[in-house]
Amino acid sequence: MSDRTLAARLPGILIPRLKVLAVAMTGALWLAACSTPPAADGDEEVEVAPSTPVPATPSTPGTSSPPPFVLTPPGPSTGGVSPPPPTLPLPTTARFVRSPWNSLPGWHTDTVEDTWVAFQRNCDAIVARAGKTVATNASAWVATGPWMPVCAAAKDLARRGPQAGQVRRFLEERLEPWVVGTARGDAVTGLVTGYYEPLVQASRVQGGVYQWPLYTAPADLLTIDLGSMYPELTGKRVRGKLVGNRVVPYDSRAEIENSPQRPPAIVWVNDPVDAFFLQVQGSGRAELVDGPNRGGVIRVAYADHNGHPYVSIGKWLVDQGQLTLAQASMQNIKAWARANPGRVREMLNANPAMVFFREEAVNDVGDGPRGAFGVPLTPGRSIAVDPSIVPLGSPVFLATTYPNTNQPLTHMAFAQDTGAAIKGAARADMFWGFGAQAGEQAGRMKQPGKMWVLWPRGSAPQSAR
């Protein structure tokens, strides 16, 4: 994404004091890696799934003042036998350990031909970056050098049209698996969650039931890239605004809503919980069912956020005694909101975090939004990762299970996105696609998983730092 830098917005006198400023602001502003918004992380307490019903009866108001708001057998390989596994230290307790192709569970059954379009898109992004000066946040991307001959060969194969089996042979001959493992070479087991692209009903104009805005990024929002001046803070950013010659935390959700100068709204949504969950996912589609452009569908893509920590509204309702933890599903939160219209704003403001959006056209209904790697996400084949461990743009092989089952889900994917809670070795957040069915799968996805980075032969995968 494109961020306004400190140098563009702050007086020069403040720049030498930025490191002190970063420390001072840590308690007030949210430091995080640039990526999808803080809530778009697959770890929301609320699952998009049926749960214990909750009676739609009004609550007793005014019992306590709310905190800020929140929801919540392997086949043969053509690659040959690898030498003894070298290791590459990572900035965690894990290492990359070279592995043979036949160590990947389910590799021979994966329909890797289905990844070919995504592989070429991934290569296009890598090649486009080669030789260019890029923003500091892009330092978490793959190093372009080892990939240039691979991508050139992939383009040549695509031009000729791969025949049956050629894609798998190409991958096995050109790439090599490196397991995210321990020092002994054992694969690390991480957590695999899911996210998706929801659909909301919206209008271009405020009115009637369309009262819940999806805002563009405010003109006065500063995003300060700390890594541009202090390499040890690479990937860390703070967000705020100028008041006089001082940088202060940006407004909370409640402060934005109560301000006479709110950011422009792209659309107004007819359901507050739908609007909230779209913010949790980080992007979505809006069907314009009223007002100008009625009947059209647009994408509202993540642009930025206000820097405040995310708080789960599901947890808030539990803390307020309005729901039990077993009842805290999206469906029951919606039921509570319908039964308590006078407290909806109170619930929402319990979460100080606010996500801002930009409008995009939906050019291909099968594509997802653009992730942190800058290419459209591919349902089931794109994942968010911790870029301090797995560089963005890396093809990976993921071995996990389908949501709430022991049925193996083993296939090739691409590290094309990030998320604030996607931290640690073998941690992944799978993009399930668009719509309600994708939402059902994403909401239930909390499975153990193992990960192999697929890297060009002759080179070792770099960590992002």
* The dihedral sign for the CA sequence 331, 335, 340, 341: positive
- The residues, any chain, with a CB within 8 Å of residue 165's CB and separated by 6 or more, are none
Percentage of residues of the chain with pLDDT beyond 90: 54
Find the mean pLDDT for residues 151-172.
Answer: 93
pLDDT at 94 over 80: no
Find the mean pLDDT for residues 156-174.
Answer: 93
Every domain of the chain and the residues it spans = 95-310+351-456
Highest mean pLDDT among 72-86, 235-249, 396-410: 396-410
pLDDT tier, 164 (very low <50, low <70, confident <90, very high otherwise): confident
H or E element, residue 299: strand 297-305
| pLDDT at residue number 228 | 73
| pLDDT at residue number 264 | 96
Average pLDDT of the residues of the chain: 78
Per-residue tokens: 268: 């107004």
pLDDT at 242 over 60: yes
More confident residue, 39 or 5: 39
Residue burial 54-81, b: 16+ Cβ < 10 Å; e: rest: beeeebeeeeeebebbbbbeeeebebee
| pLDDT at residue number 118 | 95
| pLDDT at residue number 431 | 95
pLDDT at 90 over 50: no
pLDDT tier, 234 (very low <50, low <70, confident <90, very high otherwise): low
Nearest to 33 by CA among 227, 218, 302, 244: 227
pLDDT at 82 over 70: no
Interatomic CA distance for residues 82 and 98, integer angstroms: 8
More confident residue, 182 or 415: 415
| pLDDT at residue number 460 | 83
pLDDT at 139 over 80: no
Nearest to 459 by CA among 156, 143, 157, 127: 143
| pLDDT at residue number 345 | 94
Nearest to 196 by CA among 384, 375, 448, 35: 384
- Cβ atoms < 10 Å from Cβ of 359: 14
pLDDT tier, 394 (very low <50, low <70, confident <90, very high otherwise): very high
pLDDT at 266 over 80: yes
Find the mean pLDDT for residues 368-380.
Answer: 92
| pLDDT at residue number 269 | 96
Q: Could you give the strand order of the β-sheet that contains 284-290, starting from the edge strand earlier in sequence? A: 212-215, 265-269, 199-203, 284-290, 297-305, 355-361
Percentage of residues of the chain with pLDDT beyond 70: 76
pLDDT at 281 over 50: yes
Find the mean pLDDT for residues 5-9.
Answer: 29
Highest mean pLDDT among 338-347, 360-369, 437-446: 338-347
- The residues, any chain, with a CB within 8 Å of residue 175's CB and separated by 6 or more, are 150, 395, 454, 455, 456, 457
Find the mean pLDDT for residues 184-188.
Answer: 81
pLDDT at 364 over 50: yes
- The residues, any chain, with a CB within 8 Å of residue 380's CB and separated by 6 or more, are 411, 413, 430, 431, 432, 433
Find the mean pLDDT for residues 111-126.
Answer: 94
HEC letters along 92-118:
CCCEEEECCHHHCCCHHHCCHHHHHHH
Task: Confirm if 208 and 268 have CB atoms less than 8 A apart.
Answer: no
pLDDT tier, 216 (very low <50, low <70, confident <90, very high otherwise): very high
The per-residue DSSP string of 373-440 comes to TSSB--TTTEEE--TTTS-BT-EEEEEEE-TTS--EEEEEEEEEE--TT--STT-EEEEEEESHHHHH
Give the CA angle between residues 399, 404, 410 to the nearest 5°: 15
| pLDDT at residue number 465 | 37
| pLDDT at residue number 178 | 95
pLDDT at 51 over 60: no
| pLDDT at residue number 226 | 79
- The residues, any chain, with a CB within 8 Å of residue 178's CB and separated by 6 or more, are 88, 96, 97, 98, 99, 452, 453, 454, 455, 460, 461
pLDDT at 253 over 90: yes
Superfamily of domain 95-310+351-456: RlpA-like domain (2.40.40.10)
149-137-418-383 Cα dihedral, nearest 10 degrees: -10
The set of long-range contacts for 209-212, using a CB threshold of 8 Å and a minimum separation of 24, is 209/270, 209/271, 210/267, 210/268, 210/269, 210/270, 210/290, 210/291, 211/268, 211/270, 211/272, 212/268, 212/269, 212/270, 212/271, 212/272, 212/274, 212/275
Which residues sit opposite 195 in a β-bridge?
A: 431
